[in-house]
Structure 1
C-alpha cells in the first residue's frame, strides 16, 4: 500500500554504572538475535556506539539512532538502568518510544549475574512521569530475549500509527451535509495530536474535476476498473467519469500534501454532488482506500482519521460503515441462532452506499445508490460498489472529538458472519459480544456518530494502546464490557 509511514526502531541498551555493563551488552545482543530470527532484519537498528550509563552516553546514543534514520525508540534495561539518563534519552528522542526490561536468566547466576531490571523499570516509569514523557510500556514489560522481541513486534503497529499521525494531513471538501451534525466535530484535537487539516470547498473540487476532462490517463484507469469489477461491471458507461474523478483526487493529494508524507480525505458525496458531477463517488472512495489513501463519506473528518489509524495498524484496507440496522428476528432464527454464540442483540448490520473495497467483499457489482435515487434521477446516482462484506474477524473502532472538544475513542472486536444480508449497498451482518449493552452505554451514552471504522482482523490491543499514547484519557476509551461487568451508567437492576 502507498501513503504509509515507514518504521525503523532504534534499540538502545542502558546500564546503571554500579552493575556489570556486560549484562546489558550480552542481553542486548541476545534480544537483537531473537528478534532477527523471528521477525527478520530491516525494522530494528541495534545501537552499538555505547551502553547508556551517563548523560554523555545518552547524547551519543541519541545522535547514533538519529543518524541511522530511526523514527521509533526502544529503551532496553539490561540491568537496573540509569533512571536519569535513560529518561532523558526518551525525552529528547522525537518519536514514539517503548521501555522494556530484561528478566533474570538462570538460578545458577543470581549473584554477579543478577540485573534487577524488574526494579529498574519502576524507577524508569517514575522518572518518565516526572519529565512528562510519553512512552509505551507493555502489559508485562519484563522478559527473556524472546519475550522482549515479541514486545517490540507488538510495539511496531503502535509506533507506525504515532509516526503516521505526525506526518498526516487530512484534506476535506465542503461542510458536512444537512442533518449530519453527528459527523461535525471541532478540529482543535487534530492539531493537539499533530495532524494537519486542509479544508476546501466542494466548488474547488468541482473546478479541478472539470479541468481533468479528457485527461490522457483516463483510459488506463478505466481499464483497471474493468479488470477489478469483472462481471460486476454493470454500469460501464459511468467508468470514464469515475476515472476522471479518481485522477482529480490523486492529483489534488500530490499538489496539496505540502510537507506531510501521509494524506487522508474527508469527501463530499451528497446532496448536490450527484446532480453536479453526475455520479456518486463511492467506488472511487473504495479504490483509494484500498491503495492506502483512506476516504471517508459525508465529510467525516474524524472518520477519515480513524480509517487512517486502522490502515496503518493493520497494514490492510479498512472501511467506514454506518452502524446501521438491526438483524430481523426471522433472519436471526434461520441463519444465526444455534449456529453462532450470539444473541440477537449481539448482532447488527454495518452498511454504506458502496465505499468498501472490492477485496473486502464476497461479491461485488457496480450499481446506483438506491436511497438517493428515491429523490433524484437514477442516472446521476451511479457509482456504488455493492456486495456482502466477507466473513471474518473485524475490529469496530473510532477516534472522535466531542462537540465540547474532548478526545474519546471506542474499540470492539467481533466478526462478520457468513450470513446473506438480502439487502443493498456494501453491507454485512456483524456480531460483537454484548453489542446491545455496548451500543447503549458507549455509543449512545458517549454521543458517538453513526459512522464506525472497520479493520479486518482483531487489532483491539494495538488500537487501545495507540489511543492511550496519543492522549485519549483511559476512561474515555470505550469497549464492549463482558457480561457481568457493569457500565457506570448501566442500571444495576437491568
Structure 2
C-alpha cells in the first residue's frame, strides 16, 4: 500500500538534577534494547536535565529526522524541560516513566518516576501540550517497549492527519444532508480540503480519452476480477476514470503527502460518465488511497485513519438493514453468541475492495437500474464481505462543528447474505442499544468506516489525541453500563 506515513521513531531520556543521570541513561539503553526486538528506534544520546539540554536534544532528534518521539522519565524528571521538548517537537509525543527494577536497590537506584509522571502530566496540561500517555504509563524496559509498540499506529495516524489533503467532488446529492461536512474541524485537525465540482472531474475524465495507459489498467482489472468480470465492455472506461483520479491526486496534492477522496457517484454521474465508479473506488482504497462515495468527507477522513492504524484496506458501509428473524433463527441462533438485535447488515453498492470479499463479481448497480438504463449503471463490485473481526467506527463533525466519534468491536459472521452489493452480516455486542443511544442519539450519518481487525484501542487514543472529548467518543457499552439517555425502567 502507498499513501501511508513512514515512522522514524526516537527516544529521549530526562533526568532531574538531584537524581543520578546514569539512572535514566542506563534505563533508556535497556528500553532501546528491548524495543529493538520489535522495531527500529533512534536513541538520542542527550539526557535532558535543563532547558539547554532540551535544545541540544531537540536539534539532535531533528537531525536524525525523527517524526515521533518517546519522552522517557528514567527518574523523576525535570518538569519544564521535559514538557518543552514535547511542545517544540514537530510530531506526536508519548510520555512514559520507569518502574524500579529491584528491591535490593532502593537507595541510589530509586528513580521516583512514578511521582514524576504526575508532575509531567500536570505541566503538559498547563502548557496545552498534547501527548499520548498509555493506560498505565509506568513499567520496566519490556513494559515500555510494549507501550512504544502500541504508540506506533497512533503516531502514524497523527502524522498522516497533519499531512493529509481530502479532495472532494461535489456537491452532495440532493436530500443527502447525512453527509453534511462542516469543514472547520478539518482545519483544526491540520487537514486540508480541496472542494471541486463534478464538472471539473468530468472535464478531466474526457481529457484522458485514449490515454495510452488504459490497456495496462484494463489488464490489471481483468486479473483481479477473473471469473467475476461480468461486464468486460465497461473496463476501458473504468480504467480511464482510475487514471483520471490518480493523475488528479498527483497534480493537486500540493504540499501534502497523503490524500483521501470524497467522490460523487449519483444522481447525474452515471448518466454522464456512462458507468458507476464503485469498482474504481475500491481499487484506489486497496492502494491506500481511501475513496468515500456520496461526497462523504468525514467518511473519507475516517477511512484514512483506519487505513493508517490497521495498515490494511478499509471500507465504508451503510449501517443498512436488519437481519430477518427467520434467517437469524436458521443460521445464527445457537451457533454464535448474539441476539437478533446484535446483528445487522452492512452494505454499500460496491466500493469494498476485492481482497475483502469472499467472492466478487463486477456488474450493474441494481438500485440505480430500477430507474435508469442498466448499461449506465455498470461498474459496481458485489460480493459477501469476508468473515472475521472488524472495528466499526467514525469521526464526525456535528452541524455546530463539534468533533465526536464512535468505535465498536464486532465481527462479520460467516453467513451468506442472500442479497446484493458489497454486503456482510455483522454482529456487534449490544448493537441494538449502541444503535439507539450512540448512533441515533448522536445524530450520526448512516455511513460507518470498517477496519478489518480489532483496532479500537489505537483508534480511541487517536481520537483523544486530536481533541475529541472522551464523553464524545461513543462505544457499545455492556448491559451493566447504562447510556446517559437510556431509560433505566426496562
Q: The TM-score by the shorter chain falls in which range?
A: over 0.9
Q: Distance in 2 between matches of 1:396 and 1:461?
A: 12
Partner of 1:454: 450
Of 329, 332, 337, which aligns to 2:328?
Answer: 332
**Matching of residue 407 in structure 1 with residue 411 in structure 2:** no
| Superposition deviation, residue 5 in structure 1 | 0.9
Q: Secondary structure of 2:104's partner?
A: helix
Structure 1 Cα separation of the partners of residues 478 and 143 of structure 2: 28
1:114-163 C-alpha deviation (Å, 9 max, x unpaired): 11100000010011011110101000000010100000010010000000
1:264 and 2:260 aligned: yes
Q: Verify: 1:26 aligned to 2:26, yes or no.
A: yes
SS of 1:107 mapped into structure 2: coil
1:154 counterpart residue number: 150
Provide the secondary structure at the position in 2 that maps to 1:219. helix
Q: 1:68-94, CA deviations, whole angstroms, 9 ceiling, x for partnerless residues?
A: 111111100000001111001111111
Structure 1 SS opposite 2:409: strand
Q: TM-score, normalised by structure 2?
A: 1.00
Whether 1:45 aligns to 2:51 is: no
SS of corresponding position for 1:414:
strand
1:391 has 2:387 as partner: yes
Take 1:9 and 1:29, find their aligned partners in 2: how far apart are those partners?
Answer: 15
**Cα offset, 1:484, TM superposition:** 1.5
Structure 1 spans left out of the alignment, 5+ residues: none
Partner residue, 1:12: 12
Deviations 1:334-366 (A, max 9, x none): 110000010000000000000000000000001
Structure 1 SS opposite 2:260: strand
CA deviation string 1:444-465 (max 9, x = no partner) = 0010000000000000000000
Query: Match for 2:299 among 298, 303, 316?
Result: 303
- Give the aligned partner of residue 36 of structure 1: 36
For residue 123 of structure 1, give the secondary structure of its aligned residue in structure 2.
Answer: helix
Q: State the 1:10 CA deviation.
A: 1.3
Q: How many residues align?
A: 490
Distance 1:403 1:176 in 2: 15
1:122 aligned residue = 118
User: What residue is the counterpart of 1:186 in the other structure?
Assistant: 182
Instruction: Give 3-state SS (helix, strand or coil) of 1:137's partner.
Output: coil
Deviations 1:348-403 (A, max 9, x none): 00000000000000000011000000000000000000000000000000000011
Secondary structure of residue in 2 paired with 1:109: coil
How much has 1:179 moved relative to structure 2?
1.4
Encode CA deviations 1:405-432: one digit per residue, 9 max, x unaligned: 1110000000000000000000000000
Quote how far apart the aligned CAs of 1:40 are. 3.0
Cα distance in structure 2, aligned partners of 1:483 and 1:387 = 34
Q: Which runs of 5+ in 2 are unaligned?
A: none
Match of 2:241 in 1: 245
Counterpart Cα distance in 1 of 2:299 and 2:368: 21
**Partners of 1:484 and 1:81 in 2: CA distance:** 41
Measure, in 1, the Cα distance between the counterparts of 2:9 and 2:113: 21
Q: Name the SS for the 1:177 alignment partner.
A: coil
Q: Distance in 2 between matches of 1:40 and 1:316?
A: 19
Q: Tell me how far apart the structure 1 counterparts of residues 476 and 412 of structure 2 sit (CA, whole Å).
A: 16
SS at match of 1:413: strand
* CA distance, structure 2, for counterparts of residue 472 and residue 26 of structure 1: 37
Counterpart mapping for 1:79-158 below 5 A? 79-158=75-154
Distance 2:361 2:479 in 1: 39
Q: Which residue of 1 aligns with 2:209?
A: 213
**Correspondent of 2:338 among 338, 342, 346:** 342
Cα separation, 1, equivalents of 2:401 and 2:128: 22
Q: 1:468 matched to which residue of 2?
A: 464
Of 65, 72, 78 in structure 1, the residue corresponding to residue 74 of structure 2 is 78
1:202 aligns with 2:198: yes
Q: Secondary structure at the match of 2:36?
A: helix
Q: Does 1:169 align with 2:165?
A: yes
Counterpart secondary structure, 1:108: coil
Q: Distance in 1 between matches of 2:200 and 2:178?
A: 24
Q: SS in structure 2 opposite 1:269?
A: coil
TM-score (norm 1): 0.99
Consecutive aligned runs of 4 or more in structure 1 exceeding 6 Å deviation: none
User: Hey, what's the Cα distance between the residues in 2 that align with 1:40 and 1:160?
Assistant: 14
CA offset digits 1:39-64 (Å, max 9, x no partner) = 133xx11101x110000000000011
